[in-house]
Amino acid sequence: TWSISGDTTSTVALTVRLSNIMPVITYEDIEPEINRIANGDKSPILSSKPISEFLTSSGTSAGERKLMPTIDEDMDRRQLLYSLLMPVMNLYVPGLDKGKALYFL
């Protein structure tokens, strides 16, 4: 069991409590809104901040890629992560700077 605000409860009960506060949705639930934004709708449908770019997934088990809308702050966080990632990887992967590499985040 884990605790929120000192309340110890089962994982199932906690999941129910959290889903009442913040409902769990699927990609398919918001896919029409994502497509509206991708087709040029600038209204704040999913975020109070403007969508600055879309990332695409590598695909699903059905092979279809999914669009993932992002905002400028997300891009800033990704750039920070990447800037920290390479120096750490260079410490643990000898010769990484001498060739190509494929890494997953």
- Enumerate long-range contacts of 24-29, CB under 8 Å, 24 or more apart: 27/66
On whether the CB atoms of residues 36 and 28 are closer than 8 A, the answer is: no
45-97 tens-digit pLDDT: 888 888 988 988 877 667 788 899 998 888 888 888 888 887 888 888 877 77
Q: Output the six-digit token pair for 83.
A: 């800037």
What number is the average pLDDT over the span 2-22? 71
Backbone angles phi, psi at 100, to 5 degrees: -100, 155
